Amino acid sequence: MKCDIKKSKIHGQISCPSNKSYTHRAIFLAALSDGKSIVKNILRSNDTEATISACRSFGVEVHEEDDIITIKNTIGSTVSGSMINAENSGTTIRIAIAIAALSGGNTMLTGDDSLRKRPMRPILSSLETLGITTESDDGTPPITIKGKIKGVEVNIQGDISSQFISALLIIAPRLENGLTVNIQGELVSKPYIELTIAIMNEFGVKVNCEIPYKKYVIAHQIYKPTTCTIPSDFSNLALLLAANVLLGDGVSFDISLGDMPQGDEAIIDILEDMGVSVTLNGDKITTKSPKLLNGGRFDLSDTPDLLPALAILVLKSSNPIEIFNVKHARYKETDRIAVICRELEKIGIDVKENDDGMVLTPTENLNPAELNAENDHRLFMAFSIIGMYIGDCSVTDPDSVKVSYPDFITDMKNSGGKIIPV
């Protein structure tokens, strides 16, 4: 399936979706809490539904009502014979792998074709040093987790995904003697560790950071039942803001900030560096853009999900955009560096692909093209914005947006975007 996309201007008002990362973590922490917890304003998407399903497979009772979930019981000390299908969600399977290691049982975890290609070796290797037996297809799903954690200190590789570290931090309080987590190598996506710690704090758990992004000590603690509200998602807001900049600055966005950190808030600074005026007035955010953007050099080591939004801004840039320190984007739903470079070349952008990023040189001669999103939700959204800017394009895999922003096409069409499923 694909969408035909015509040149468009957008206007009106769009509500930014809720944060996917916080939704995942809050649901898992509610399931690990000792009592009734309520999570409000959750993101409803295929990925978060996978996390809800995983919790049910772990024996947790989950009550759903619109964007509110209530969890009344906790994941037991023994989870035996569970089967977890994480679908396309890397966050779901990585946290669930760690939770499976809390039990003395036997848990199988798998996912869709894309997820079965994504690396899990760092967390599997770490769990093995803690006495867990793992079986996998060369470090990729399907994965079997057997046994119960016995150790109190673990080393974990940090240069592929911070999700591995987050998973270990999340289970640490449930261990009888706690856990010390040592991070080896350069940690990528650092803000996601802060995000994890922030939501753990919401559930009453304290994390002792002995060496920032290198060593964390978590004592045995009880996750306390709580009620929390999920803020808006700056990963999706980044794409919406990029669309606004490219398609006329005509939309205002409703957002719920809350007080929990998000690394992808860096999109505001990036846009301002490129010459865009970004205004936050209460719960509304708007942009005002120059005729041409400044371009520049951008380090996305901490914010890999900003890559698609930043890359497409080259369409309206007066100077090259260099993106670096984002090699870990190659381990997302797709190799996002390779796919973005390949597809931007189709529309006429001069592209230099580097191991850890790219250099994009703008052109006045943009060409319509058939763009292949390779079933990657963020790339479908980014390429659709390209199509609305250039006109007469097509983009594959519209269903991919169900992973993180199910209403994307509807919101764009309601705002004047000409996106036609065919």
**Burial letters for 370-383: b for 16+ Cβ neighbours within 10 Å, e otherwise?**
ebbbbbbbbbbbbb
pLDDT digits (tens, 9 = 90+) for 115-141: 999 999 999 999 999 999 999 989 999
**CATH-assigned architecture of domain 20-229:** Alpha-beta prism (3.65)
Q: What is the mean pLDDT of the chain?
A: 95
Lowest mean pLDDT among 30-39, 72-81, 228-237, 413-422: 72-81
Rounded to 10 degrees, the C-alpha dihedral 167/204/207/19 comes to: 50
pLDDT digits (tens, 9 = 90+) for 357-405: 999 999 999 999 999 999 999 999 999 999 999 999 999 999 999 999 9
* Non-local CB neighbours of 84 within 8 Å, separated by 6+ positions: 53, 54, 57, 58, 92, 93, 96, 100, 107, 108, 109, 110
Predicted local distance difference test score (pLDDT) of residue 81:
67
Predicted local distance difference test score (pLDDT) of residue 78:
53
- String of DSSP letters for 346-410: HTT-EEEEETTEEEEE--S-----EE--TT-HHHHHHHHHHHHHH-SEEEE-GGGGGGT-TTHHH
User: Residue 330 and residue 209: Cα distance in Å, rounded?
Assistant: 29
Q: Is the pLDDT of residue 105 over 90?
A: no
Lowest mean pLDDT among 22-31, 80-89, 326-335: 80-89
Identical fold at 2-16+232-421 and 20-229? yes
Predicted local distance difference test score (pLDDT) of residue 79:
59
User: Residue 380 and residue 398: Cα distance in Å, rounded?
Assistant: 6
* pTM of the entire predicted model: 0.93
pLDDT digits (tens, 9 = 90+) for 262-286: 999 999 999 999 999 999 998 999 9
- 379 — alpha (psi -120 to 50), left (phi > 0) or beta? alpha
CA distances from 201 to 12, 23, 29, 153, 390 (A): 37, 15, 10, 21, 46
* Domain boundaries of the chain, sorted by first residue: 2-16+232-421, 20-229
Active site residues: 305
The residues pairing with 254 across neighbouring beta strands, listed in sequence order, are: 15, 284
- 246 — alpha (psi -120 to 50), left (phi > 0) or beta? alpha
User: Residue 15 and residue 411: Cα distance in Å, rounded?
Assistant: 9
% of the chain exceeding 90 in pLDDT? 91
Predicted local distance difference test score (pLDDT) of residue 91:
96
- Cβ atoms of 381 and 402 closer than 8 Å: no
**CATH-assigned architecture of domain 2-16+232-421:** Alpha-beta prism (3.65)
User: Residue 66 and residue 134: Cα distance in Å, rounded?
Assistant: 37
pLDDT digits (tens, 9 = 90+) for 295-326: 999 999 999 999 999 999 999 999 999 999 99
Predicted local distance difference test score (pLDDT) of residue 410:
97
